[in-house]
Structure 1
Amino acid sequence: MMGVFHILKVAALAACAIAAPVEERKSGKGPKSFLTEVGNSTWVLGNEIWNVTQGRQYANKLWYKGKDRVGQAVGHYVSYNGAASDLNWTSAAIFDSGSSWINVKFTAKEGDFHWVIHDDLAGAYQYFVNHALPRLGEFRTLWRLDNTSFPNGHTDVKDGVLPPVEEYATATNVQDETWQTADGTFLTKYDWSSFIRTQTFYGVYGDEVGSWYINPGKDYYNGNHLKEELMIHRESKTGDAVQLNMIHGTHYLASASDDFADGKTWGPWLWYLNDGSKDDASQRWEEEDKSWPYEWFNDTGYQSRGSISGRFVLSDGRPASGAAVFLGDSNSNISTADQGRDYYYTVYADNGGNFKIDNVRAGTYGLYAWSNGGSIADVATSFVKNDVVIIQNEENSIKTLNWTVTDTKSRIFQIGSFDHVTDGFALSGPTPFEHARISKCPANLTYTIGASNTSDWCFGQSALGTWSINFNLSSIPSSAAGAKLTASLAGFSGGSSANILLNEVKVGNITTNSALLVSSQDTYRGATRAGEWRLLEFPVAGGLLKEGNNRVDIKVTSSTQWRGWLWDSIVLEWV
């Protein structure tokens, strides 16, 4: 009874709080949007379209279209390192305002979370300013909403009904947030993951309402083009519809953990409410994308922007057509996937190897590039240029960037393109996330150079068995001292290991006992297209190769269910 009484009391106080701005509006003073403290570290904020009741940790009420859209769910909160640390708000105040908007700042010891509320906007712009976050891997804001109002989910690669919570009750838990049903299928939140930099709008929705995140500026995200994240899901224990905003995430990475400077800012992004229309959310995305970077955001670092352009030319004279281009940390020994302390920009070169990145925050960066397949699918090397300076309101133009590549004339065979993804291999599509799809790849496989197709090679390897590559050599070059075997992995989850043999002699291995192969969280969380890319190179002694028939074997010697590696490409070449 005390709990019910307390809820009714807060609701009554909230109703009183909402009335004050209305009276102020009638008198012609100030914006309609409001923040009011109602006691016991509880505040009400919003406008005439919606309002939220915010406590020390959780915004446990969201009034919109005549109903509370949180209900028995948890609500809105900000946290880091998973659910280990939810931020506690010690105060709230109107930080700034205009004739038709307010900027509400909630303060915690780690930093400040802002809601920019416009009188006529269903939703709010949000951003976070760091002051004392610890070193972390995961940092997020999120909504956990009423499952009746929001039964469906949407990302750029998946749309449909979120699994009802009742289905989890009769299923068997087989790993982290993954259950197997009686018919053998799986329920897992990770099937609702996606590539974070390709998002337009995503969220949860129903027949009456939709709650969406729209992040037009993605420079505050960690990671490169292929950074994947969990976006939405059904909370298995409570049934909450979960809308995640993983502004620094690690769900599919190996070692993304960062320290942040005081003042590091994530956002602004738009949290947007509507009647559940995806078409309307898409239109709103287009409007926000055109407006980014936001002129209204009064922050010197955010507004201090320039651009960079250039052209990549390979050392063999070809343009680096379609290359992936990444602007990240300068002089770093961290992979582009794991970089995350500052701000990051991604683009792809055009057919001529030209690229341009606009609206880059002023600062010093590292410029990286690698093959994205296509006409440069044979390029295994990457490009790095450090100490690239971006000056506010200036274009840093680099006419030609020379990219050293190896001579492909020495190549004996190549299976798959160097593009950091599993595209083209069996079972790599149609969707990039599906739990246990790797178990559908065969334990034993034979691929014959010159006769087999790329689609005969499976996207991932995990089960005990041997994948063999048969190839014929008509002659041995007199100039060749030996050979090199390159295993390019689009992802790797530790738990399975393999030996690589050439004509029954071991030349290498794929195992977690290597600094290059720290386990990432990709195959066992259902990633089928990409995870964290690795490049393994193994020398082959002269004399191992012979004229006539030869064979490379990738022999899995130990296996853990759903753990293994995603294939990008495998190459053998003379050296």
Structure 2
Amino acid sequence: MRSIFPILSFLYATAFAVAEPVLSKPFLTPLNSTTGWIIGNGLWNITIGDVYGKKLFYGGRDLIGDAVGHYQGYDGENNFVWTSASIYKETPEYLDVVFSATEIDLHWIIYPDQAGAYQYVENKALPTLAVLRTLFRLDNTTFTHGRTNIKDDILPPFSDILASTKVQDETWQRADGTFITKYDFSDFIRNLDFHGVYGSEFGSWYIRPGRDYLNGNHLKQELTVHRESATGDAVELNVIHGSHFQVNSSATFPVGKIWGPWLWYLNSGSTDDAAERAAQEFASWPYSWLNDSDYQSRGSVSGRLVLSDGRPAANASVFLGDNNSNKSTLDQGEHYYYAATADSQGNFNISDVRTGTYGFYAWSDGGSIANVSTTFSRNDIAVQNGDETALGLLTWETQARKPIFQIGELDHKALGFRNGGLLYQHALVAQSPANLTYTIGQSNESDWYFGQSALGAWTVLFDLAAANVSSNGSAVLSLSLAGYSKGASLDVSINSNLLASLTSTTLPNDPSLYRSATIAGEWRYFEFDIGAGVLQAGTNSLVFEVTNTTLWRGFLWDSIILEWKE
């Protein structure tokens, strides 16, 4: 009797072969009679008109349906109009298709076996702008969930938005008092591994390794995904230059600046699969396939930061940014940027830095240097291709003052305070009390709240010995704000002596508090001299009184430091 196993093996192999996707070369196909093109491969394809990409087919399904689709634009709805599409480069491995508008070129790098494509944008004639983005708006029934590295949840149902009351930009209040807002899916973009929208059968993801083309420092936050309020579309945002949580991001870019490349990736909706792919992409950056001499020309910067009192600048935030800039590191955005963290000994090494001349900046990220209110900067840091720029030992001058007390670590963040560091959520500052008393030596850091907004006074009580008052006399009060949202005023006084009034007329607005932030907006720092005779032996009071307020606006706290002036 002849064995049946070879027959079964043949049938199994045949069935397996049929189950494998049929791959085809990447393609660009112009449409007849109207402006438009189809691009893709054997796994997916999308039809792109003069502005919008529609009819995204993958896995036998149109993933856009009645949604708006794929498009690019700046500052609201200034969307790019494609005047041409052409094959920029074709290799045995991939096809590079470039879509051209007056302002930019958008490249799609399409491999035959890849569900999705790499993309990058090159500046041709962009105006000065604050927001630059690419995005997909996808079918609202297929894509039910959104995912970032800190939030993985259902997108608010469109029916909930329609049944709720709008209370501010893209924010609605339900009948039960809870809120719906697109800002609750925001994130610190330099921490993102991947983000996107997904459902039970499909997922669409942005994976952005490198990130040197993004504006801002470690605390740069942006929108990621949300439910579109007018149509219910599932929105997958790729904000590559943005301003939603900072004072200013208006920038004028050099011709030829490249944003990207990033990977737009399609799958079955598996977050595990997307995570695995993200790990591969991060390991592959900088991409060897991008044949651009400026992109490939890179070096590194290393050194060691030590404080002037001898302490290593342990875990300090370090940043390579604009040279000789008068902008905050959060607001810088015209060129390329590198955010890193020093080790426990103050050592840092920033690799794969594009060649050029940079400013180098450092500041406390808490921990053993949480009392350091000064920052470090050095300009004219030249990076050459293939070389290490060794800065050697860098001495960071501290404020060198004797402490009286400190509330909160100085790290530019509201962590450690009540509600500080919770997930993004609208109106959280409304839970902060109008009046509060904090007693040094008795109260805990968590007794102070992350944000102050309501009319009322927060009072800090502290005792001083007569010997300290007589020998020292004058002092310095340092206030570090993690953010400030315009519409509130704060009087700062000590023992009934007014030190300062912080108001909207002198403080520029960042939208952190009213856009769901619980950690940071844009950092501000103030020092106020306290003359001899103001502090007294026994109990003293430091008062922060909100004298004017607007709902959900106010002050996001970082640290309060009182020191003897020496």
TM-score range, shorter chain: over 0.9
Structure 2 residue 229 is the aligned partner of structure 1 residue 239? no
Aligned match of 2:539 in 531, 549, 561?
Answer: 549
Do the aligned residues in 2 keep the contact of 1:328 with 1:343 (CA within 8 Å)? yes
The correspondence of residues 120-199 of structure 1 with structure 2, limited to 5 A, is 120-199=113-192
Residue 479 of structure 1, CA deviation: 5.4
Residue 429 of structure 1, CA deviation: 3.4
**Distance in 2 separating the partners of 1:541 and 1:315:** 26
In structure 1, the partner of 2:66 is 72
Aligned match of 1:558 in 532, 548, 562?
Answer: 548
Do the aligned residues in 1 keep the contact of 2:474 with 2:533 (CA within 8 Å)? yes
Moved more, 471-480 or 255-264: 471-480
Aligned match of 1:529 in 519, 524, 536?
Answer: 519
In structure 1, the partner of 2:334 is 341
Do the aligned residues in 1 keep the contact of 2:493 with 2:499 (CA within 8 Å)? yes
In structure 1, the partner of 2:485 is 493
Residue 113 of structure 1, CA deviation: 0.4
**Distance in 1 separating the partners of 2:521 and 2:399:** 26
Aligned match of 1:328 in 321, 341, 351?
Answer: 321
**Distance in 1 separating the partners of 2:291 and 2:150:** 34
**Distance in 2 separating the partners of 1:478 and 1:530:** 39
Do the aligned residues in 2 keep the contact of 1:60 with 1:70 (CA within 8 Å)? yes
In structure 2, the partner of 1:364 is 357
**Distance in 2 separating the partners of 1:223 and 1:100:** 34
In structure 2, the partner of 1:227 is 220
Do the aligned residues in 2 keep the contact of 1:33 with 1:100 (CA within 8 Å)? no
**Distance in 2 separating the partners of 1:173 and 1:31:** 48
Structure 2 residue 457 is the aligned partner of structure 1 residue 466? yes
In structure 1, the partner of 2:13 is none
In structure 1, the partner of 2:54 is 60
Do the aligned residues in 2 keep the contact of 1:31 with 1:102 (CA within 8 Å)? no
Do the aligned residues in 1 keep the contact of 2:469 with 2:537 (CA within 8 Å)? no
Residue 100 of structure 1, CA deviation: 3.4
Do the aligned residues in 1 keep the contact of 2:473 with 2:535 (CA within 8 Å)? no
**Distance in 2 separating the partners of 1:166 and 1:221:** 35
**Distance in 2 separating the partners of 1:141 and 1:537:** 41
Structure 2 residue 417 is the aligned partner of structure 1 residue 415? no
TM normalised by structure 2 equals: 0.95
Residue 509 of structure 1, CA deviation: 2.2
What code does the residue aligned with 2:409 have?
Answer: S
**Distance in 2 separating the partners of 1:400 and 1:490:** 29
What code does the residue aligned with 1:386 have?
Answer: N
**Structure 2 gap segments, 5+ residues each:** 1-21
**Distance in 2 separating the partners of 1:429 and 1:118:** 41
Residue 480 of structure 1, CA deviation: 3.5
Do the aligned residues in 2 keep the contact of 1:252 with 1:521 (CA within 8 Å)? yes
Structure 2 residue 93 is the aligned partner of structure 1 residue 104? no
Do the aligned residues in 2 keep the contact of 1:153 with 1:205 (CA within 8 Å)? yes
Do the aligned residues in 2 keep the contact of 1:191 with 1:434 (CA within 8 Å)? yes
**Distance in 2 separating the partners of 1:31 and 1:206:** 27
What code does the residue aligned with 1:504 have?
Answer: S
**Distance in 2 separating the partners of 1:561 and 1:456:** 22
Residue 255 of structure 1, CA deviation: 1.1
Q: What's the % identity of the aligned pairs? A: 54
Do the aligned residues in 1 keep the contact of 2:24 with 2:42 (CA within 8 Å)? no
Moved more, 504-513 or 185-194: 504-513
In structure 2, the partner of 1:15 is none
Q: Please state whether the residue corresponding to 2:274 is helix, strand or coil.
A: helix
Residue 407 of structure 1, CA deviation: 2.3
**Distance in 2 separating the partners of 1:82 and 1:139:** 9
Residue 126 of structure 1, CA deviation: 0.1
Residue 103 of structure 1, CA deviation: 0.4
In structure 2, the partner of 1:455 is 446
**Structure 1 gap segments, 5+ residues each:** 1-25
TM normalised by structure 1 equals: 0.93
In structure 1, the partner of 2:294 is 301
